[in-house]
Chain A
Amino acid sequence: MAIRYYWLMVAAAVGFRLVLVLFGGDLHLASRPEVSTPLTSLRRLAEGYWLKQASMSPYSDLVANMLLFIADFLAAMLIRGTGHRLQMSRNRSLKSLDLTKAVNNSGLAPLAAFGYVMATHLSLYPAILIVPVILLLGYGPDAPPTKVFLVKSSSDSKSGMSEYERTSLKVQRFSWMTVLHFIFWLFIWSCYVLLLSSMILKKVGGLNEMFEKTYGFILTVKDLSPNIGVLWYFFAEVFDFFRTFFLIVFNMNILFMVLPLAIRLKHRPCFLAFVYTAIVAMLKSYPSAGDSALYLGLLGLFANELAEMQFTFFLFFGYIGVSLLSPVMHNLWIWRGTGNANFYFATGLAYTCLQTVLVVESVGSMIKHDRKLRLLVTS
């Protein structure tokens, strides 16, 4: 289904982004807590670059990710491409509730591995995305659960099944070759990146310091400057002797959800990736608005499956309300002095709650959707 004025809207979005780039100075976007976190701050990047030039350790201050205009545009285009592919595969699988063909992904494995390594190198959390990536490469893009196909094929076999369908059932199995290919490239790229890093950092600190100051910095929540998440407030308040315990708890929290979700949603790797990004955006140590932009962009891919989702009205206006409330509370606390940290933290909590509702509702309605498919097939 083509959208009206598609390219016009693209142009408008690009224009808006350019306007922000050109006139963003007045809004002080570079220092807004919603946009700029210790990991994404351009100012810290500049500082790190300057320190490197001065032949000091760049990790005296933290440098990491930089969101670039073109990167965003490419990402939007890629999401759209993925959407098309998902749409195609969905239509194919639903047409006669036939089987999906594994999309020929083998050529993309090195690229996927490269993207994965870079993302992990830059902010660590994408590490858990290895599960959906492997599932995607192994099973192909999202499809109704295997059980549906089995039921379908069994009912079909009674009435006699064509040879073509019988063969294509085999494709459904996990394709180990692609995954091995991916893992091979993953290994190569990580070695390559680590080698490059160690060469650059040889004089100023070495790899050890890099691990310590990047991944350690992410995992131990050392920078407690306010952001839209909840961890900064928690770790500012918590007693020091509990700190380690809660660090373990909060970091494990993300890992705990990886396996159950992977088992339940293994037939839908793209949706699984969406859920993972949403959970990470909720629980990571330095979240920014960009994280939610990523998963909200991915949400559009599942428009058909999530048509029956509940509370969408509430979620939409909740997101709008929180995103307006948060800067106001920040202003009240930092600039006007009539509020305090609790005001700003409250909006952070509300934001996390909204994200929780979104994840719970979307997973719930996706499972419901699959159940409905099964019921439709069996009846």
Chain B
Amino acid sequence: MESSVKQETQPKPRLIVRLGVFLASHHILFSVICCSAGIIVLLLLPSLAKNTYLSENALIPGSATPLFSTEDAIEANRFMKGIEAADGDSIGGIDMAKFIAQQIEELGAEVCYHKFLPHSKHFHPLKFFTTMSNDMAIEPNGTDTNFGINTVGIIRAPRGDGKEAVVLVTPYNSQRVHSNELLSLALGFSVFSLLSRAAWLSKDIVWLSADSQFGEYAAVSAWLNQYHNPVFPSHSVIFDTKIHGADHIYDGNAEKAEFEAFKRAGTMAAALIFKVGETRRYGDRDSVTMYAEASNGQMPNLDLLNVVHYLAVHRQGFRVNIAAFSSLLSSAWLRVIAEFFHTLGTVLRKINPDWKLDIAVHDYVDGTANLASSIYNQAIGVPTGSHGAFRDYQVDAVSLEFTPTFNVRNENAKSLFLLRGGRLVEGVVRSVNNLLEKFHQSFFLYFLTAPSKFISVGVYMIPFALLLAPLPIVAAALADGSETMKKLAEKSIGDSKTNGSTDFLQSKGGSWKWLQAAKVLLVIQLWAVLVSLLPYYITQIPDATPIQSSVIWAMLSIVILIALYVMSGSPYSAGVEWKLLKATMITSISIGLGLMSIINFATAQLGALIMIPMCLFSRPLKARSGMNFLPRAVLLASNITLAVVGFPPAALLIMKGLSKGSWTVDIGEFWVWMEFLWEWSSATYLYLFLVHLPCWLLCIHVLLHPCSQLELKMKQE
């Protein structure tokens, strides 16, 4: 009777269902193929990089003859001497700000000071998500003596409507001034003075000389915060904001009190941060290093980088670099891979001349070093410079660090350098000035493998998608497999019973069996949320060393886990099948990785490389299988290795060991790292604790599963 019921209620499934069933029945082969293809494509990425191109026609970089002349360079030298003198008799760097303001005023531009306090360390991991820019600007009040002063100069565009602005930033440390910082200030000033005379400006120019005594980022982000979140102080607040020691800037000169008022220009179209770094002896040409990674892997529009690169290389003769992992450049195994791909590429080229995969070995190694650094910087989710602060307000920004090859005392070389640097900055401003709309043409999602080569989102998604593809299939196969097994068992029980109908009515639903596994997942996720919030309370403990903090953290996490198990029952007590547990784990990890790939792709990509093998390999250590000794031992060993590698502190230790070669175990280091992540409100912190850690714990649960259920069923059969 029961079989007749089943026959009637199960019509022929649809094509898509049948396709799914087919894939699920071959899930092992499918996942092996997909994962290996994913890793191969990931290694192929440097050869798949394309040359950059300008997609916004309005930019037309280098179309006008640069106006920046030797006279401007002389002006810069004069400014430099002046500020050196001001620095000599300065108290706390205030005279420098005063000197800059005075010079700006002499140019006829508007000027104002911006005072700010250093950022206090806060635990707000969700900040990137909930409040992007809604913080109220913190104004220094009367009790603070330790504050920074940014000097802001604004040129109103003669041809513009004042609705848009281009921002130039030169950071300098007002407490300890280096000669190269003075050089970058001089460069900034000379460009600003040139632009104050330019008749072609259609966007306002803002020059921010950022006081980087608390770090560049703090200065720039404090200024941006106040720029975008106007405060409307009541009278009492105005009285409070008088600052100790700041009063003597004005020297009783009443009309300069207007410097106090915060001045604004229009919406920012783009920002360029430039500074002159330490002199390096090697290299024949002066070089420029571009930094573009903002928080959580956000990048500025590629067109901005293209403009800078084009002008620097083709007009001013700089060498342009991007950050790279230099250790990879000399790595032997990378060279072997490069040779292999080169041979493979030449063979493929012979088959079809359109397949241009035969990248030179040297290019491949360089590209990999750059790409690795690009992925790493995006994955960490911490901006590589003060341009990150701009991206939080959706302003495209890039940092340029000039590395001169001459001695700072060499006046001729310095003038030449100022001339070329000034022309570069002027050219970029000119290009952005030409824009009629926001940057939108080119890419926002890309990796750089060279200053002029990029991998767009359409290409770099492929390895990730290939890695992720087996997960749903395996989950379906596991869920389905356990179901059929259950049906078999049920049938055998049902046959023995005389009253089949009551059995059908009382059975607690085969298709809802995963609810127990989902409950385990829920408890573990709850635990993960609690663990990720713990640092908020731990940071309140005064004077705790990193080691103490991390030990407290670990202890509390274990206590919470045990408490949750006591409250909700042990995960194995309800008799969850390990296959269902694994299916739940795989589904949750595919959701987690999918989400993370949207928030910060690089993190998800790196995470997938560790997590997906860990999830796919995992099976209970006690599980019986029909395998021989050798494959079983290999499976066991890979399970344990992956479980160890998947544990975040262990992964961190291995990463440190590989990069630095030191294998000392320092418990406090993990705390320091995590502190670094949440201070920058990096989403990587959330990923580690809400996706990675629970998945790892579930994996451990699968590994330690007692498997009594399964054995019971096998006996019954």
Q: Give A residues with C-beta under 8 Å from B.
A: 26-28, 94, 303-304, 306-313, 316-317, 320-321, 324-325, 327-329, 331-332, 335-338, 368, 371-372, 375-376, 379
Contact = CB atoms under 8 A, between A and B. Distances in A.
B591 interface: yes
B9 A338 contact: no
Contact of B507 (A27, A307, A311, A375): A307
Contacts of B581: none
B431 interface: no
A32 to B, nearest CB: 10
Q: Which of B298, B445, B504, B511 has the most CB of A within 10 A?
A: B511
Given A307-B508, A309-B512, A368-B9, 13 more contacts: A303-B509, A307-B510, A307-B512, A321-B595, A324-B591, A324-B595, A325-B598, A328-B598, A332-B598, A335-B132, A338-B298, A371-B8, A375-B4
Interface in B497-529: 501, 504-505, 507-512, 514, 518
User: Secondary structure at chain B's binding surface: helix, strand, loop or mixed?
Assistant: helix
19 contacts: A303-B512, A307-B510, A307-B512, A308-B509, A308-B510, A311-B511, A312-B511, A313-B479, A313-B511, A320-B591, A321-B591, A325-B594, A327-B129, A332-B598, A336-B394, A337-B394, A368-B9, A372-B5, A372-B9
B688 interface: no
Given A313-B479, A328-B599, A372-B5, A94 B594 contact: no
Contacts of B595: 321, 324-325, 328
A313 B394 CA distance: 39
Q: Which of A316, A324, A337, A368 has the most CB of B within 10 A?
A: A337
Contact of B518 (A309, A316, A324): A316
B433 interface: no
A235 B358 CA distance: 50
B630 interface: no
Nearest to A367: B9
B442 interface: no
Given A26-B130, A338-B445, A312 B599 contact: no
Contact of B512 (A312, A332, A335): A312
Contacts of B591: 317, 320-321, 324
A337 to B, nearest CB: 4
Contacts of A371: 8-9
Interface string B478-507: 010000000000000000000001001101
A308 B511 contact: yes
Nearest to B506: A304
B502 to A, nearest CB: 10
Contacts of B510: 307-308
B373 interface: no
The 5 lowest CB-CB distance pairs between A and B, nearest first, are A307-B509, A337-B394, A321-B591, A317-B587, A338-B444
Interface in B272-321: 298
Contacts of B479: 313
Interface string B588-601: 10010011001100
Nearest to B127: A26
B485 to A, nearest CB: 15
Contacts of A321: 591, 594-595
A211 B364 CA distance: 69
B129 A331 contact: yes
Contacts of A320: 591
A331 to B, nearest CB: 6
B504 A372 contact: yes
A342 to B, nearest CB: 13
Contacts of B425: none
B583 interface: yes
B225 to A, nearest CB: 15
B441 to A, nearest CB: 14
Q: Which of B9, B508, B594 has the most CB of A within 10 A?
A: B9
B712 interface: no
Contact of B501 (A310, A316, A376): A376
Contacts of A308: 509-511
B1 interface: yes
A337 B5 CA distance: 55
B130 A28 contact: yes
A372 B129 CA distance: 50
Interface in B517-553: 518
A279 B709 CA distance: 40
Nearest to A329: B598
Interface in B356-372: none
Interface string B106-146: 00000000000000000000000111100000000000000
A90 to B, nearest CB: 10
B403 to A, nearest CB: 31
A140 to B, nearest CB: 21
Contacts of B4: 375
Q: Which of A27, A313, A327 has the most CB of B within 10 A?
A: A313
